[in-house]
A = this chain, B = another copy of it.
């Protein structure tokens, strides 16, 4: 079963990579672009057969390894 974990910075946490992308877009002629924020996307192939169980496993992985929950939040989707 495939799980997709998206990890994004919490609101209020500075995102210099996003700022850099915003500046680069402006330089390329894309004017009027507002806030840009960058996150991570992790696709996992899990052995669980039950979607609820797979979601619980992926959330456990996110809390323990994939996300730094002090500054990042995460979301799990089962595909």
Contacts and interface: CB of A to CB of B under 8 A. Distances in A.
Interface of A: 6, 8, 18, 21, 24-25, 28, 30-47, 57, 60-61, 64-66
A57 B30 contact: yes
Say how many copies of this protein the assembly contains.
2
A41 to B, nearest CB: 4
What does DSSP make chain A's interface, helix, strand, loop or mixed? mixed
B66 A8 contact: no
Given A33-B45, A34-B44, 5 more contacts: A21-B42, A34-B46, A36-B43, A37-B43, A39-B42
Contact of A65 (B6, B24, B57): B24
A65 B46 CA distance: 32
A46 B33 CA distance: 5
